[in-house]
Amino acid sequence: MGTRCEGLRDSLSPIAYYEEYSHFRLDCLKIDDNKELSMSANEDLAKERARCDFNVSEITNILDGGIERTKQRKKIESIALSNGKCCDVTPEETLGPKERYENAIRKSCLYTKIVKDQVLTLTGLEVLGSNSSVLRRTADAFFKDISPFLLHLGMFVPTIMGQGTPEQQSYWLPRALDFQIIGTYAQTELGHGTFIRGLETTATYDPDTEEFVIHSPRLTSYKWWAGGLGKTSNYCIVVAQLYTQGKCYGIHPFIVQIRDEDTHMPLPGVRVGEIGPRMGFNTADNGFLGFDHYRIPRNHMLMKNSQVLKDGTYVKVASHSKLTYGTMVFVRVMLVNEVAFNLAKAATIAVRYSAVRRQSEKISGEPEPQIIDYVTQQHKLFVCIATAHALQLSSNWLWKTFSAVLADMRGGNTENLPELHALSSCLKALSTSDSAALIEQCRLACGGHGYMLSSNLPLLYSFVTATRTYEGDYTVLLLQTARFLIKAWEQAESGNPVTPTVSYMEEAVVGNKYKWNGSAEGIIKAAYYVAAGKISSSVTSIRKRMKNGKAFEDAWELTGVQLVAAAEAHCRAVICDVYRKETVRLTANSSPNVKTVMDQLNMLYLSHWALERTGDLLRYTSTTEDDIISCQQRYEELLAAIRPNAVGLVDAFDFPDEILQSTLGAYDGRVYERLMEEALKSPLNAEPVNRSFHQYLKPLMQGKL
Ligand SMILES: CCCCCCCCCCCCCC(=O)SCCNC(=O)CCNC(=O)[C@H](O)C(C)(C)COP(=O)(O)OP(=O)(O)OC[C@H]1O[C@@H](n2cnc3c(N)ncnc32)[C@H](O)[C@@H]1OP(=O)(O)O
Ligand SMILES: Cc1cc2nc3c(=O)[nH]c(=O)nc-3n(C[C@H](O)[C@H](O)[C@H](O)COP(=O)(O)OP(=O)(O)OC[C@H]3O[C@@H](n4cnc5c(N)ncnc54)[C@H](O)[C@@H]3O)c2cc1C
C-alpha cells in the first residue's frame, strides 16, 4: 500500500493529489480486508418506511407550497444534480484555506453557469424572489460550507432592486444578474455592527467634479465581515454617512467598484482583504475594506429613497426615514425560511440515524433497541421536525405579509412598515435561535458520530448559529419588537385600535386571567396571555422607574431583560398561532392520515412550549398544576403516536443525498459504511507512516531528540 502512494504528493497539486489518491485508498481497503463494504440499504430504515401510515409526498407538497412547486423544485434539483462535476472527491474540510476557497470558487462558477443557462430560462426571475429558497437548497449539493457568491444574490442584487431608481436598476441589474460583475454588501465596520447610525465611513459630495469621496477616517471605520468581499467581489454596496453642503444626512447606500474588471487588482485608494479564519463561513471570504479619499460618480449613490442633485442639494424622496434599511428587512424575512430548511436537514440526519443506530439494552439480554425507541430520544428529535414545520409555515406567512406591505409602500403607504419591522425582527431572532439550538440538539442526539464533520451537523450548526448574530443580533432585534409592543400596549390601554398581530392586547389590557384549556386554540390563547402579561409587567417596571426619577431611556434600559422576554413570548404566540392556522388550512383537503400526523406534530409543538413555559403559565394565566400534569401526559402520548411515522416525516422533507451531504443521514442508512469511506479519504490516511515519525516521534522515543 505504501509503495503505491509514495511520490504522489510531489508530482500532483493538492487537490489532484487527493482526488487521485482517494481512489487508491478505497482500492487498498478492498484488497487488504479481502471483503467489500456492504452496498445494501439498512433494513431498519426499510422497516420504518413500511410502517409509515401516510402518503409521504402529500406532506412534501404541503411544505413546498403545492404539487406544482414540488415538481418545479425537483426539476431544478435534477438539472443541478445531474451535473456530476459538482462532487468533491476529497471532503472540502480536509483542504487548506486557499484550496478550499479556490474549490468554492470553482463550484460557484459551475453552479452559476447551470443557474444562468438552465434554471433561469426555466423559471425566469421568479427563482430569485419568493422561490429563491429552491436555489439555496440546490446550492447545498455543491457547497458544504458557504458560496462566496451568497451575498451577490442575497444582498447586492436585492439592494439595487430595493434602493435603486428605475434608471439605476436598468443599468446595474442586467450586469449583476449576468454575473458580469460580482458584488456584496459592506455595512458593518470594525467598530460598529448593530448601531448603524454610528457607522464612520464617509461619502462627501464634491459638486465641482460631481463625485462622492469615500473615506475611512480611522481603523474602526474599516468595513468588516461582508461575505465574498475579501477576494471575490469587484463591486459592493457601501453604506456610508452622506455629507453634502457641509451637512451630514446619515447613512446611505452607494455602489462602489473596488477591483479592476479585467485584472481584478484592488483599485488605487481601496484596501481590501480577507478577515481570517472563522467558526464557519470559511469558504465565503468574508472581508475588510478601507478607502483613502476614493472617488465615485454621483450617480453611484442609490437614489430611490433620497437624492443628491448635481449642485449638492439633498432631496428626500421616501415617505419613511427607515426605507434605507429595506435590504435588511428583506433578508430577515428570507432567513426564517433559510433556517427552517437547515433545521429540516438536521432533523432528517438525526432521525434516520436514530432508526439505524442500536445501543444499550432496555431489558437485559434482549436485542439492543433502535435509539429512536427511547422516549428521551423522541423528546429530543420530534420537536425538531415540528419546529421545522412551524418555521417553514411561518416563513411563508411572513413572506406574504412582506409582499403585501411592499405593495402598499409602492403606492406610498408606509403605515404597516412598523408592524412588518416588529414581526420580521422577532421572527428572525426566534427562528435563528431555535434552529441553532435544535441543530445542536440533533448533533448531541447522534452521540460521537454527530461530532464528525462528515455527519454535516457541525457545519449546519456553525452556519445557523451565525444567523442569530448577522442581519441584526438576537437581543437587539427583540428589543426592536419590544418598542412596537410597548407602544401598542399603551394604545390598547387608552382604547385606541391596534394592528392585527397585537389585537390580543385589547382583551388582555382589561386584566382578566386566562383559564387553561388544553386544546390547540386554548394553548395559543394562553401563549398570547403570557405575552400580554410580560408586556404589562414591562410597562409597569418602566413606569415605576420613571416615577422614581429615571429618564425614559434609563428606565427602558433597566427593564431590558423583561422587554426581551416579552418580545420572545409575543413571537412564540405568533408562531404557535400561524402554525396552527396554516396547518388547518393546508390540510383541509388532505387524506385523513396526513391530517392526523400534521395535527399531532402541531399539538406536539404547542404542548412542548406550554411545558417549557409552565412558570409563565402559572404566573400569567389561571393554569393549575393538574392542567400541567395533563399537558405532560398529552405530550408523552404524542411522542408515542408520532414514533411510527418519524422516518416518513423526515423523508417528506425530500432531501436528495447530494443536498444532505451526511454520512449519518443518507436515504439508504448505510451509516457505518459511509463513515469508513469518509475516514479513508482523510489525508492522514494517505501514507502508512507520517514523516513526523522520522522527524520527531522516533528521535523522542529513542532518546535522540
Ligand atoms: C438567494 C437568496 C438567499 C437568501 C439568504 C440570504 C442570506 C444572506 C446572508 C447575509 C449575511 C449577513 C449580512 C449582514 O449581516 S448585513 C448587516 C446587517 N446589520 C444589521 O442588521 C444591523 C442591525 N441594526 C439595525 O438594524 C439598526 O441599527 C437598529 C434597528 C438596531 C436601530 O436602528 P436606528 O438606531 O436607526 O433606529 P432606532 O433604534 O433609533 O429606532 C428609530 C425608529 O426606527 C424604527 N426602525 C428601525 N429599523 C427599522 C426598519 N428596518 N424598518 C422600519 N423601522 C425601523 C425603530 O423601530 C424606531 O421606531 P420608533 O420606535 O421610533 O417608532
Ligand atoms: C458570519 C457573518 C457574516 C456577516 N456578513 C456580513 C455582511 O455580509 N455584511 C455586513 O455588513 N455585515 C455582516 N456581518 C456583520 C453582522 O451583521 C454583525 O456582526 C451583526 O449585526 C452584529 O453586530 P456587532 O458584531 O457589531 O455586534 P455588537 O452590536 O457589538 O453586539 C455585541 C453584544 O452587544 C449586545 N448589544 C449591542 N447593542 C445593544 C443594545 N442596543 N442593547 C442591548 N444589547 C446590545 C448584543 O446583543 C451582543 O450581545 C456578518 C457577521 C457574521 C458573524
pLDDT digits (tens, 9 = 90+) for 427-449: 999 999 999 999 999 999 999 99
Distance of CA 474 from the midpoint of ligand 2 (Å): 9
Distance of CA 191 from the midpoint of ligand 2 (Å): 10
pLDDT band at 31 (very low <50, low <70, confident <90, very high): very low
pLDDT the model gives residue 154: 92
Q: Please tell me the residue having the least CA distance from ligand 1 atom 34.
A: 197
Distance of CA 194 from the midpoint of ligand 2 (Å): 5
Q: Please tell me the residue having the least CA distance from ligand 1 atom 57.
A: 480
d(CA 338, CA 204): 37
pLDDT the model gives residue 244: 98
Q: Which of 305, 301, 287 is nearest to 213 (CA)?
A: 301
Residue 596 contacts by C-beta under 8 Å, 6 or more apart in sequence?
A: 54
Integer-rounded Cα Rg, in Å, for the chain is 28
Contact 54, 594 (CB under 8 A): yes
Q: What is the pTM of this model?
A: 0.94
pLDDT the model gives residue 1: 27
Q: Which of 569, 568, 492, 567 is nearest to 527 (CA)?
A: 569
pLDDT band at 183 (very low <50, low <70, confident <90, very high): very high
Ligand 1 neighbour 187 (Cβ under 6 A): yes
Specify the ligand 2 atom closest to the Cα of 229: 8
Ordered alpha helix ranges (H), 55-207: 56-64, 67-81, 97-114, 120-123, 132-139, 150-151, 157-163, 166-177
Which of 421-447 are b and which e, b meaning 16 or more Cβ less than 10 Å from the residue's Cβ?
Answer: bbbbbbbbbbbbbbbbbbbbbbbebbe
In the set 48, 189, 471, 568, the catalytic residue is: 471
Ligand 1 neighbour 192 (Cβ under 6 A): no
Nearest ligand, measured from the Cα of 475? 2
Ligand 2 neighbour 557 (Cβ under 6 A): no
Active site residue 471: yes
Nearest ligand, measured from the Cα of 463? 2
Ordered DSSP codes for 622-650: ---HHHHHHHHHHHHHHHHHHGGGHHHHH
The H or E element that residue 390 is part of is helix 375-410
Ligand 2 neighbour 187 (Cβ under 6 A): yes
Q: Which of 548 and 79 is assigned the larger pLDDT?
A: 548
Distance of CA 272 from the midpoint of ligand 1 (Å): 25
Q: Please tell me the residue having the least CA distance from ligand 1 atom 18.
A: 471
d(CA 310, CA 298): 8
Does ipTM come in above 0.95?
A: yes
Nearest ligand, measured from the Cα of 154? 1
Return the SS3 of 184. strand
Please write the tens of the pLDDT for every residue from 348-362. Answer: 999 999 999 999 988
Distance of CA 7 from the midpoint of ligand 2 (Å): 48
Contact 147, 105 (CB under 8 A): no
Ligand 2 neighbour 151 (Cβ under 6 A): yes
Which of 465-478 are b and which e, b meaning 16 or more Cβ less than 10 Å from the residue's Cβ?
Answer: bbbbeebbebbebb
Alpha-carbon 1 to chain mean position: 44
Return the SS3 of 296. strand
C-alpha cell read off for 66: 403545492
Bridge partners (DSSP) listed for residue 294: 214
The reply to whether 232 sits in an annotated binding site is no
Set out the domains of the chain in order of their start, with CATH numbers. 1-40+673-705 (no CATH), 83-145 (no CATH), 153-317 (2.40.110.10), 329-651 (1.20.140.10)
Distance of CA 306 from the midpoint of ligand 1 (Å): 18
d(CA 632, CA 530): 19
59: left (phi over 0), alpha (psi -120 to 50) or beta: alpha
Please write the tens of the pLDDT for every residue from 84-118. Answer: 656 677 778 888 999 999 999 999 999 998 888 88
The reply to whether 188 sits in an annotated binding site is yes
Q: Please tell me the residue having the least CA distance from ligand 1 atom 37.
A: 197
- Give me the chain's average pLDDT, please: 91
**Within 13 A of 26's CA, how many CA atoms are on the CB side?**
16
Q: Please tell me the residue having the least CA distance from ligand 1 atom 55.
A: 322
d(CA 387, CA 635): 15
pLDDT band at 412 (very low <50, low <70, confident <90, very high): confident
d(CA 339, CA 465): 10
Residue 114 contacts by C-beta under 8 Å, 6 or more apart in sequence?
A: 79, 80, 83
Please write the tens of the pLDDT for every residue from 40-58. Answer: 889 999 999 999 999 999 9
Contact 26, 565 (CB under 8 A): no
Ligand 1 neighbour 161 (Cβ under 6 A): no
Please write the tens of the pLDDT for every residue from 595-628. Answer: 999 999 999 999 999 999 999 999 999 999 999 9
Ligand 1 neighbour 419 (Cβ under 6 A): no
Ligand 1 neighbour 452 (Cβ under 6 A): no
Q: Which of 388, 349, 439, 350 is nearest to 604 (CA)?
A: 388
Please write the tens of the pLDDT for every residue from 119-157. Answer: 777 666 555 655 677 788 888 888 888 999 999 999 999
Is residue 35 scored above 70 in pLDDT? no
Dihedral sign for Cα 457, 460, 462, 464, please. Answer: negative
Ligand 2 neighbour 183 (Cβ under 6 A): no
Please write the tens of the pLDDT for every residue from 514-528. Answer: 888 999 999 999 999
Q: Please tell me the residue having the least CA distance from ligand 2 atom 47.
A: 475
Ligand 1 neighbour 318 (Cβ under 6 A): no
Q: Please tell me the residue having the least CA distance from ligand 1 atom 61.
A: 483
